[in-house]
Chains A and B, each alone.
Chain A
Amino acid sequence: MALLEVKALKKHFTVSISPMRHATLKAVDGIDFSLDKNRVFALVGESGCGKSTVARLLLRLIAPTAGEIRFRGENILGLKGGALKAFRKSVQIIFQDPFASLNPRMTVFDALSEPLKIHGLAGRAELKDRVSELLQSVGLGDVLDSYPHEFSGGQRQRICIARALAVSPEVIVADEPLSALDVSIQAQILNLLLELKERTGISFVFISHDLRVVEYLSDEVAVMYLGKIVEVSKTEDLFGSPLHPYTEILLSSAPSIKADGRKKPELKGEVPSPINIPSGCPFHPRCHRRFEPCERVVPELRQYKGRQVACHLRNPAI
């Protein structure tokens, strides 16, 4: 049984387009995936395609419009009392915006000792040692009595990582957890996460725009575009031979420290909007490989050579 299973998950928001008119914004529009124990599942995709919304749904911080999320086989929406508390301990999140997720009036010690106390994971006497140890593991020294505003962006991000690790969760949903870190500290934290994975069998849903890190860390990658998954592959396969034209463009747009003079493909056309999703394949207006069925028929995510892709090129519409 998968640890975490997502089925036909949707999240729609209502937004006002003028004082009297409203529209539906399809942030997440029917996605499926599953996460096994001891795996890293990466979510990548265009800014605004719904990744953070998926993260918040997984944590039950917001309710889905449709679909379900199962943790160890149980629908998380049905969890109550002790089972809900256990779920809250088992699945932790590292938010994209560290400052907004830290209470400005709590010292680092308070922020990190709170979850330990709530879940009864450390006695009074051990609290301080345990918190210091957590901070040490993310490269922060003796900062117990400081407040969030006294830190740099990357230091705050590390406090959030330490907080997620504090309760020894089974799953961490990490939303751009390394984006504010210099590459040396990033390497240190990647080593820490991999070591934890090896030692405790923890799993990650890893959201990132840094494709190099995704390639290094993840076992499997899902590429999202306008609220849908357009490709899921094993990491080596995806980076070795992308199937979806959007994935192709994404991979070749990444900045590189090698001055190889290669020309980057340009993603032409209007930036797509989840308020007004194009007909047929949502990517067709910008696709360099579109053909007849693309603007008419929505491609489903289907098996293709042991991988999954939603593209008429790979799975011709009949």
Chain B
Amino acid sequence: MSLLELKGLSISFRTRPVEVVSDLSFQLNEGEVFGLVGESGCGKSLTALSIMGILPQNFKTGGVVNLRGRNLLSLGPEEMRDIRGREIGMVFQEPMTSLNPVLRVGYQIAEAVTSHFRVSKEEARERTLELLKAVRMPSPHVRMKEYPHQMSGGMRQRVMIAMAIACNPAVLIADEPTTALDVTIEAQILELLNGLMESGNMAVLLITHDLGIIRENAKQVAIMYAGRLVEKSPVEGIFTAARHPYTIGLMESLPGQRGVALKPIPGSVPKPGMLPPGCKFSDRCRFMKPECQADEPPLRQVTEGHFSRCIRAEEMRWPS
């Protein structure tokens, strides 16, 4: 069942008519990981922040974000405070900017629990320990008394994850949650999340650049470029028959054999507001035809459940 649904979400600057995210639609189902991949700076984190209702002041939103049928974008700050943490948990991309440097991490995790539930100090402490163990923190009794700067990058990331799942949220937004974790702990954390999804039907929005993680964990995946979805599909579809030149460009950029030069997508992303007419990827696309720069192509279904924003999607063959 769909838990969270984005319908035509747009994010634009308050002071200028420039959209950073445009017409974004997808839905998160119970017990599933939805993977969101995209170019650096394409608006993934802003999308996450807008769902949480904590977008920076200089942005405004349009469209709808439905959580079990309730539009979060129309709720007031009080109502959103109740939902944040309780219904939707979030692992932020940069732990150091979201953890409080002057508070002990144990206190911060306990606070995530007590802000939504009436529990005794002792119960909050127990829960904190339990969470730290669940995220594979070594010496949790000692670590809970530490300050963020005393921890390694991956430990801070695990603290963030503990805080985000503290109240068993229905939806977890995880923005690059494992970039500082080695692959063994990463696998254990993903397993922990998979367990929470199975037992509690949690839905996860997983933002990551790691295509291996996507392949092994996501059920559905969406690829973003320049603030738009360019491809959306059940996970297998992206890896066996990618239907958008940007996605193909990503696959071809992956490092392979040593000594063989890498092939990044040529050119660089223009700033929002300076994008080409028509298809926003057209100026970097090797499949570009004149029609591509007429109207912006819609996201359309190419095969069952597999959508692409390319007018030549049917011709795409990857891997060839």
Contacts and interface: CB of A to CB of B under 8 A. Distances in A.
Interface of A: 13, 15-17, 23, 44-48, 51-52, 96-100, 139-142, 149, 151-155, 158, 176, 179-188, 190-191, 209-213, 215-217, 235-236, 249-250, 253-259, 264, 267, 270-276
21 contacts: A17-B142, A44-B182, A46-B182, A48-B138, A97-B96, A141-B270, A152-B45, A153-B176, A183-B209, A184-B253, A186-B253, A190-B262, A212-B255, A215-B258, A217-B255, A254-B212, A257-B214, A257-B239, A259-B215, A270-B138, A275-B139
B153 A187 contact: no
B182 A154 contact: no
Given A45-B182, A255-B187, 18 more contacts: A15-B146, A47-B185, A97-B153, A98-B94, A99-B97, A140-B268, A151-B41, A155-B41, A180-B179, A187-B262, A188-B262, A209-B181, A209-B183, A211-B183, A253-B186, A255-B183, A257-B214, A275-B142
Most buried by A among B150, B182, B269: B182
Contacts of A100: 94, 96-97
A278 to B, nearest CB: 12
Nearest to A51: B152
A273 B138 contact: yes
Interface string B47-81: 00000000010000000000000000000000000
Nearest to A246: B184
Given A13-B150, A209-B183, A276-B139, A182 B39 contact: yes
B239 A47 contact: no
A29 B258 CA distance: 32
B216 A47 contact: no
A208 B41 CA distance: 22
B212 A255 contact: yes
B8 interface: no
Contacts of B209: 154, 180-183, 186
Interface string B13-25: 0000000000000
B168 interface: no
B183 A250 contact: yes
A246 to B, nearest CB: 9
B154 A48 contact: yes
Contacts of A264: 187
B181 A47 contact: yes
A212 B254 contact: yes
Interface in B179-225: 179-188, 209-216
Given A180-B40, A182-B39, A215-B258, A96 B180 contact: yes
Contacts of B261: 191
Nearest to B261: A191
B265 interface: yes
B172 to A, nearest CB: 18
A213 B210 CA distance: 12
B250 A184 contact: yes
A154 B94 CA distance: 11
Most buried by B among A47, A98, A185, A258: A47
B123 to A, nearest CB: 21
Contacts of A259: 215-216, 236, 239
Given A209-B183, A250-B184, A188 B40 contact: no
Interface in B131-152: 136-139, 141-142, 145-146, 150-152
Contacts of A275: 138-139, 142
A99 B155 CA distance: 17
B174 to A, nearest CB: 13
Contacts of B270: 141
B167 to A, nearest CB: 24
B249 interface: yes
A295 to B, nearest CB: 19
B38 interface: yes
B263 interface: yes
B41 A267 contact: no
A195 B264 CA distance: 14
A267 B182 CA distance: 12
Contacts of B290: none
A184 B93 CA distance: 19
Given A16-B145, A17-B141, A48-B155, A253 B187 contact: yes
Contacts of B154: 47-48
A273 B268 CA distance: 44
A255 B216 contact: yes
A210 B138 CA distance: 22
